Structure 1
Amino acid sequence: MIGIIGGSGVYHLDGLTDTHWEKVSSPFGSPSDDLLFGRFNGHPIVFLPRHGRDHRLSPDSINYRANIDALKRAGVTDILSISAVGSLNERLAPGTFVLIDQYIDRTVTRDRSFFGKGLVAHVSMAHPTCRRLSGIIHRAAGEAGIQTVLGGTYLAMEGPQFSTLAESELYRSWHCDVIGMTNMPEAKLAREAEMCYASIAMVTDYDCWHPDHEQVTIEQVIKTVQANAETARQLVKAIIPHIQNDASASACSCRFALENAIITPPEHRDPEIIRQLDAVAGRIFGKR
């Protein structure tokens, strides 16, 4: 099942049927909002408004653990993360869609793991997004006449303020391609939950490094986001059947990320943490 994390411009799809909003509880607290369940051409889909339907949550106040846990409980296996970003690369102009394949995580205040004291796990993040899923998106987009850039490094900043000029230039010197506030720890948590995760980053501006963009304003960002919204909807509609019909999905390495990741011996594992992880790590603990 496909789960889509994004804004209202994404889940207002023509042809979406059998829709209903449903509250999904999580032992990690409250998700950003209820989940919207629906079908597109017979394919089941779940949408989660990352910031809430009224955009009441800033990037640093989102409960990322509850969001991923709720999607896993809803039966989601493949996550499409759609978000607005600033460009740190002259070639990636506003309006460009980038399929992220790497991150540099500069967030500092967020709960970034389902594991911890009492139950320790270390998952691989060498390739932090699902290459299978990103490849499907890239091919499906091309067939639909929608241009996407396959691969790019996303600098995840804490926010909610935009970058200083010095920060923007620093991240450019690190060869980062785009900058955003929401993909971390989202991608890390999806990996821990053994879910395939692909990030579709929609460029809204050139950040403050560009001589024509000395100051990034929210009005500028919103204007470009609105212009991107229709393309995003068309992209989602184009890729859904390709993902649903992918026969190789069940063998994807993302779905076995915890196979050798849990370090704590069984006799020393905190039973309360195991209880909380009934959805996230149920395959490992034999409950799901």
Structure 2
Amino acid sequence: MTDTPLRIGIIGGTGLGDALGAEAGETRELDTPFGKPSSPITLTQWHGVEIAILQRHGPGHVFNPTHVPYRANIHALKSLGVTHVLASGATGSLQEHIQPGQLVIADQVIDRTHRRAKTFYEHAAVHVEFSEPFCPVMRQWLLAAAKRLDSDVKVHDGGTYVCMEGPAFSTKAESHMHRQMGGDLIGMTCMPEAKLAREAELAYALIAMPTDYDCWRPHTSDQPVQALLEEIMGNLKRATTANISLMKAALSDVTLLSQQPSPAHDALKLAIWSDKSKLDPAEVERLSVLWGRYFEQAEVG
């Protein structure tokens, strides 16, 4: 992977390209062995950096977290030559010190989803190493960029993201349980996205955008529901503005990503436990975008 040209896939919401100020590019409509991705992918540049922008929930936010086509999204990005994935998403905060409107560069995840396809390799034994679910090189890159931001943009170094199934939010009992489990953030989209990126040998990092304190922290006022919702939307707007600033700062210097390979780029090297000669050649070919380089000299079928 060290000789592969750098291309950063950005997974976020509608209008992200315009917010970044990305140059005019081309839009690709793709199909994959796992269906169509959730949106067309825009191939463009930001100050010379090749980027590919994908809307996780689709145009108009039509996919709820359970039904996002995660496998199609990651496969499509891989097929377009993406080497690194920079994802972002709204979350709740499970800790007092992580305030709504701030940012968190997550470093751990607890997967509590149960209705989602979590692997590309359903007809082979493939076991990727996942103790560190977020790329340490990308985390270092983002944290270095955070130091170049205005002092009023608070970026937390590390946090455990609890990924729940949804689409309903937590009960109070669940919210307290997530805190007791060691969670710092609660969201619905990190998994299986991060795991699939690892299976595709893509470096992956996540910028979490807390919008509220979930429901574990009692409200201290008698605000009506509408006012609370407006407060949450205001926090999301502040976090989104900070997120765009962080992305711009990071993309302005990708030297670290160019010079230091991610451990994820060789994630399949020791992960394919199946005897390659026993695998169905049609399945090997179907997933060639993901694992093809490990079968170039192997006798299959």
Length-normalised TM-score, structure 1 = 0.93
**Structure 2 portions without partners, runs of 5+:** 1-6
| Letter in structure 1 aligned against 2:116 | R
Distance 2:220 2:63 in 1: 26
Distance 1:213 1:111 in 2: 40
Specify the alignment match of 1:272 in structure 2. 282
Specify the alignment match of 1:142 in structure 2. 147
| Letter in structure 2 aligned against 1:128 | P
Alignment of 1:115-154 (within 5 A): 115-117=121-123, 119-145=124-150, 146-154=153-161
Distance 1:205 1:26 in 2: 36
Asked if 1:62 is matched to 2:62, the reply is no
State which drifts further: 205-214 or 148-157. 205-214
Distance 1:30 1:227 in 2: 32
Alignment of 1:50-89 (within 5 A): 50-89=56-95
**Contact map agreement 1:6 1:83 (CA 8 A) in 2:** yes
Alignment of 1:8-27 (within 5 A): 8-27=14-33
Aligned length: 285
Report the CA distance between 1:241 and its aligned residue. 3.0
Distance 2:156 2:238 in 1: 18
Distance 1:88 1:213 in 2: 17
Q: Which has the larger radius of gyration?
A: 2
**Contact map agreement 1:111 1:185 (CA 8 A) in 2:** yes
Distance 2:43 2:238 in 1: 26
Report the CA distance between 1:198 and its aligned residue. 0.2
Report the CA distance between 1:133 and its aligned residue. 0.3
User: Deviations along 1:164-190, whole A, 9 cap, x unmatched?
Assistant: 010000011111100000000000000
**Contact map agreement 2:137 2:256 (CA 8 A) in 1:** no
Distance 2:206 2:220 in 1: 25
Equivalent in 221, 225, 228 of residue 236 of structure 2: 225
**Contact map agreement 1:207 1:213 (CA 8 A) in 2:** no
Identity of aligned residues (%): 39
1:4/1:65 CA distance change after superposition, 3 Å: same
Alignment of 1:73-112 (within 5 A): 73-112=79-118
Report the CA distance between 1:283 and its aligned residue. 2.6
**Contact map agreement 2:104 2:156 (CA 8 A) in 1:** yes
Specify the alignment match of 2:163 in structure 1. 156
Distance 2:74 2:229 in 1: 27
Distance 2:20 2:278 in 1: 51
1:209/1:9 CA distance change after superposition, 3 Å: farther
Provide the secondary structure at the position in 2 that maps to 1:83: strand
Distance 1:282 1:128 in 2: 23
User: Deviations along 1:44-88, whole A, 9 cap, x unmatched?
Assistant: 111000001210000000110000000001111010010000000
**Structure 1 portions without partners, runs of 5+:** none
Asked if 1:174 is matched to 2:186, the reply is no
| Letter in structure 1 aligned against 2:47 | N
